[in-house]
Amino acid sequence: MSEAIAAYFEEHRASNDLGRRALRGGIISIVIQYGNAALQIVAAIVLARLLAPEDFGLVAIVTVLTSFAPLLIDFGLLDATAQRSRVTPGQVSALFWVSTGLGVAVAMIVAASSPLIAWIYDDQRLQPIALSVAVTFVLSGLTNQHMALLRRTMQFGRIGQIQLFGTLAGTVVAIAAAVAGYGYWALVLRPVVSSVCIVAAAWSACAWRPGAPVFDDEVKSMVRFGLHVVGFTVAYTLSRAVDRIALGLFYRPDQVGYYQNAMNLYDNSVSAALSQTHAVGSAALSKLQSNPAALREKYAAALSILAFFMMPAAAILSVTAEDLTVVLLGQKWQASGALLSILALRGISHVVEGSQGWLHLSLGRADRWQTWGIISLVAQVIAVLAGLPFGTVGVAWAVVIGYSLIALPSVLYAGRPIDIGVALVARAAGPQTIGAITTAAAGWWLQTALLATYSPILRMILSGCFCGCVYLAVVVGLFRHGEPLRIAGTIIQDVIRKR
């Protein structure tokens, strides 16, 4: 085995520079992810002007219904490989062939279900869309273990580059298809092309190649671990999709399209960064699984830094959402901007709620994570049913309120094995939460009281600057919580020096 491949299978060990490596990896990942998000937004701008809301609604119905499929293919085995203290090439090969087999099986199930999807929604255009989307599931199973090995060795910059390459290729093809007049097929082609490119890039970046599988007791344990992970991710994904599933059943496709584009903007601005920090946080904290005190300390520090930067970003997005959407997508998408202004508020609590996965995975308690996924799904079904009679706006408010109510309990449940309680979470994220809520309220007052007659671009600039000043005044000035600024500055300088 070459030295480069052997590095993927080294045993997890704590190191003195673990925190710095994790923060550096997190910053690099988020920067690349925001580049990815910017590209997604550029694609959304162009495609929104070339296509109709109904086109987005049709594709959204299928993608939401099949959103659980990639999770079944991964089967939690990516997290299992990254989290394990020790793995062998034969064990990873076994997980690779399991993921590949699951990809083929899920693709066949989705393809067989395509006539049923078209019948339920009474639109035959949905059948060929579902058949095309099924191709991406076969491709997904071919990359999971390569990405897991890159994550295991904390090569988050390389992972981000792979994802960025896939996004760029899919975007170019989608825009070309839209210009050529292919309508909603432009949106269908984008994930297919992106998946093909990610497979090629992942196999090029990771020198490991699958071989003969070894199905020993350790692999069986990893599969059980993965089963619990996929239990959570399927439940959680369904909880995030239940809003669009319900809207698709009771409202017109264009209403689903408005809601979907609002959710896309939220995902590419707030949720995308949080998903990157999940990979970094769980991989880094897994190296401390034998030291609960150190794990608890590093978790609190990581949550504090993440909350310091992401919570005000969510608040500012909420304040500027309507202007931002109109400027980016055009006047016909103004309804999406109103929905985004509501959905963005979820980002404040999403920071806390999203950190639960770090704890569950680093502690090896994916079974508890699965339990919480079911609780989250039930809570969101209840919330969406309550908001559904009030249309897309009612559903958006229901989603935000539902997730906000379960954010703190989710972390307390995840941290119970190592005594993480309310006091630790309050110290880590309390000032930032108060600052973000105050920022959103002050920003909305400024928008309505003083800036109503200003142009959208000028209003966004003034509101953003004002909100940033309010947040710093509350968090740094009032609560004296400026340590994340110092730490982030040190890491950025470190990254610049190494570059």
Model pTM score: 0.67
Q: What is the pLDDT of residue 84?
A: 62
pLDDT in tens, 197-207: 988 888 888 87
pLDDT in tens, 414-435: 888 888 899 999 999 999 999 9
Question: Can you read off the two tokens belonging to residue 37?
Answer: 């998000």
Residue 387's pLDDT band, with cuts at 50, 70 and 90, is very high
d(C-alpha 135, C-alpha 130), whole Å: 9
Q: What is the pLDDT of residue 419?
A: 87
Residue 163 pLDDT exceeds 70: yes
Handedness of CA 453, 327, 398, 420 (dihedral sign): negative
Residue 27's pLDDT band, with cuts at 50, 70 and 90, is low
Residue with tokens 């989608």: 174
Torsion of CA 32, 33, 39, 43, to 10 degrees: 170
| Nearest C-alpha neighbor of 407 from the set 385, 387, 425 | 425
d(C-alpha 445, C-alpha 277), whole Å: 32
Q: Which of 138-147, 216-225, 238-247, 372-381 has the lowest mean pLDDT?
A: 216-225
Residue 246's pLDDT band, with cuts at 50, 70 and 90, is confident
What does the mean pLDDT of the chain come to?
Answer: 82
Rg (CA), the chain: 22
Q: What is the pLDDT of residue 9?
A: 66
Q: Are 201 and 49 spatial neighbours (Cβ–Cβ below 8 Å)?
A: no
pLDDT in tens, 396-415: 999 999 999 999 999 999 88
Q: What is the pLDDT of residue 409?
A: 94
How many beta carbons lie within 10 A of that of residue 62, not counting itself? Answer: 28
Domain segments of the chain: what residues? 3-498
